[in-house]
Amino acid sequence: KDEGGNCFRFFQPAMTTYMTRRIKLEQELRQALADPSQLRLFYQPKVDLGSGSIIGVEALLRWHHPEEGMISPMEFIPIAEDSGLILDLGDWVLVQALEQLSRWQREGVAIGMAINVSVKQLLHRDLCDRILALSQQQDIAPDAVQLEITETHIMNDMGRIIAALCALDKAGFTLAIDDFGTGHSSLSRLRDLPVKVLKIDKSFVKNAMRDKKEAQIVKAIIDMGHSLDKTIIAEGIETQEQMQLLTELGCDEGQGYLFARPMPVEELDLLLRQNAQY
């Protein structure tokens, strides 16, 4: 009991601060959704490692908090997921990203749009109909839309998730597994998923340079992915050496600060107009 008391006294202040902040951010995120001028999408190019051209972008959500400035999605996305706000937030992202994609298509810019989708959103029965309706409204070809779903979450509720993924695949959207390698996808499960793209997590990209064994693991992922007809993209490429190594290992596409950081649409438009090659 004495010890318990000590532990309690020790942990309580930190826990309270943490909970208070979460509750505060949740309320403020709710307000931000009512006044989305605080929210913005940034876009990060995806590069074809063979040709060096930009073939697509990933939409990444930014929250400009009125007092705190930029708050990282690493902090507010989990809060949005726990509170259920992710459904409205995710819908806002879909609308914005598809509107932008439609603008590019009208301007004759041929790039794909990758959108992060949380599993909560995926398991909400309306997602596929909603994306289809938005795509039809905006006259978007579904295969230009890539949906990224994080690996660790995919393996949790496989039955329902496979059903949701199959509906999206049937509708013509491209599906990608994000942070690949950090979860526990077995080969047989991977074969059963209607997923076209594997995105190798940036932790592998970092370690592959320092550690031969880690580079072999990356090679195994790439070879295995190719044997299952998947496209392989690596995220978090920051150096020329990392790009060279991944290209040698057979990786198809890359993304990372070496090429470009996530940026507002005006900057990306400039980059696209310059016909940037890497």
Residue closer to Ca ion (CB basis): 102 or 116: 116
Nearest 5°: CA angle at 196, between 219 and 91?
125
Residue closer to ligand C2E (CB basis): 118 or 146: 118
CB 61, min distance to ligand C2E, A: 4
Q: Which of 178, 208, 233, 268 binds Ca ion (CB under 5 A)?
A: 178
Residue closer to Ca ion (CB basis): 30 or 155: 155
Q: Which of 91, 151, 169, 179 binds Ca ion (CB under 5 A)?
A: 179
Nearest 5°: CA angle at 79, between 75 and 84?
150
Q: Which residues bind ligand C2E (CB under 6 A)?
A: 44, 60-61, 72-74, 77, 90, 93, 116, 118, 148, 178-179, 202, 235-238, 256-257, 262
Residue closer to ligand C2E (CB basis): 149 or 190: 149
The token duo for 178 is: 């994000």
CB 68, min distance to Ca ion, A: 22
Nearest 5°: CA angle at 84, between 79 and 86?
70
CB 176, min distance to Ca ion, A: 8
In eight-state DSSP terms, residue 258 is T
> Would you count residue 151 as binding Ca ion (CB under 5 A)?
no
The token duo for 213 is: 């064994």
Residue closer to ligand C2E (CB basis): 107 or 235: 235
CB 201, min distance to Ca ion, A: 5
Nearest 5°: CA angle at 150, between 15 and 267?
95
In degrees rounded to 5, what are phi and psi of residue 172? 100, 0
Q: What share of the chain is helix, strand, coil (3-state, %, to 5)?
A: 55, 20, 25
